[in-house]
Structure formats: structure tokens, C-alpha cells
Amino acid sequence: MARGKAREKRPRGGAADTLERTRKAFARRQRARRWLTWRYLLAAFVVVGAIGFGVYALYFSSWLRTEGVDLVGNAQLSDKQVLAVADVPTGGPLATVDLQAIELRVKALATVKSVDVSRKWPHQVRIVVVERTPIAVLDRGDRLTNLDAGGVAFGHLAKAPAGLPRVKIGPGASGDALVEGAHVVAALDPQVTELVDFVEVQTVDEILLHLRDGRLVRWGSADQADDKASVLLELLDRKAQVYDVSVPGAPTTR
């Protein structure tokens, strides 16, 4: 009988153990859920705090304010000229500086071919300037300016620098004719450039090279400029007063 009673108690003990294990597992799951919730809340708090700190640092603190300009690439233009036009505001947040407006102002300078403006953290605006390269001097009679390979006139010169040919524009020449004249100068061999006193641009199709020794080259238009330059280099060995390379396949001398 005692053994029978002992056997009857075992099922009750097993059920109790199972119930206890279930209760503990449920408690663990509850704790895990609560901890997961707190983790999400903590992570959200950290993110919001970081964003708030970042906004304060960028827009309201003195840690990242604009204090100066890092200017690079200017040689023909002085720092004073570029900075005066750039008009970079200082003292305020670097993050709020209007870079595009600065770029447009600097690019308005005729000497500037291109410009890149960026933030140089923590306190500077960086301006990288690419200036136009002069290939000739545009002689307008009353003033001298530089001329680049694209036919853009820029800067003001007190006198023509050595090594650059002058370009003179006829009264009937258009803006396109000036561009054509610049293309002709850019195509000339350096040996020929040294011989040129000035380039006369009468029209788009009538460009003349006046050499320093009085000889004249009839160039025609800027078409086939490289071929004309090669032909002229060989043709100048002949003794003549006028050289016509307007048709490079059939040059003539007189």
C-alpha cells in the first residue's frame, strides 16, 4: 500500500515541476521583452541626443563658425581682388554659408575660367580658382587686354608682354571673328608665333598675320588651322613678301 501511495505522488511532483519551469520561462520572456523595450528607448534617446547635439554644433555654437577663406589657384588676380568679389560672410555658422552665391560672384570675374567653392571644416570656406591662360594680347587701340584660346578677353594690361602676339580687330569684325582669330593664334607653331607682330582679324573668313619683318600671311578662316600652321612653317623658308595658306592644299607665295 505504501508503495502504491508513493507511485501516486510522483505524477503530482512532475506536474508541479513542469508548472514551475513554465512560470520561470514566462518570467524570463517578460524580462526579455521589457529589456528589449528599454533598449529601443535607450537607442532612440541616444539618436535624438546625437541629432540635437549635431544641430546645436552646426547652427548655434561657436565651434564651427566661419573664420576665414582658403584661396587657391589665383596668380593673375590678387587675393584682395578675389576676396572682395567673393564677399564670404564670417562669424556665422559655416554650415549656412551660401557656397553657390560665392561661386557665382567669383566666376563673374573675366579672368576666372572656373571656380569650385566648398566648406573646409571646421572654420574656413575653400575657393579653388582656375584662371584663363592668355595666348595673345587683344589690341583695341585705346587699351590692351589678354585673350585666351576661346576668344575671351580678360584683364587690363599697361603694355603688351613679351612673347604674346597682338590681335587687332577690323571695324567690321564680329564677336565670332574674334573667336576665330584666337583659334588661329592657338594653332600657330611657337617658331611662327615668335615671328608674328600682330594678327589682323578683318572678318571670320579674312585673317592676316603681319610678321615682324614686314611679310604678310593670308590665313583665311580658322578652318584647317593645324594644316595651315604646318604648311606655313615650311613655306616661310621661301623668299617672298606674301604667303597665302588659305587653301593649305594649294599654298602660294608672291
pLDDT tens for each residue of 41-81: 677 767 776 676 565 555 656 678 999 999 999 999 999 99
| Residue 6 predicted with pLDDT over 50 | no
Q: Kindly report the pTM of this predicted structure.
A: 0.72
Q: What's the confidence (pLDDT) of residue 64?
A: 82
206-211, strands of its sheet edge to edge: 153-157, 144-147, 136-139, 166-169, 196-203, 206-211, 216-220, 242-244, 252-253
Tell me, what amino acid is at 185?
V
Q: What is the pLDDT of residue 1?
A: 45
Report which DSSP code applies to 231.
Answer: H
Name the range with the highest mean pLDDT among 16-25, 60-69, 87-96, 110-119.
110-119
Is it the case that residue 3 has pLDDT exceeding 80? no
**pLDDT in the model for residue 14:** 67
Q: How far is residue 199's CA from residue 207's CA, in Å, rounded to a whole number?
A: 7
Amino acid code (one letter) for 123: H
> Taking residues 160-181, what's their average pLDDT?
87
| Side chain identity, residue 6 | A
Please give the single-letter amino acid code of residue 49: G
In terms of Cβ atoms closer than 10 Å to its own Cβ (0-12, 13-18, 19+), residue 93 is middle
Across 34-48, 145-159, 167-181, 210-224, least confident range: 34-48
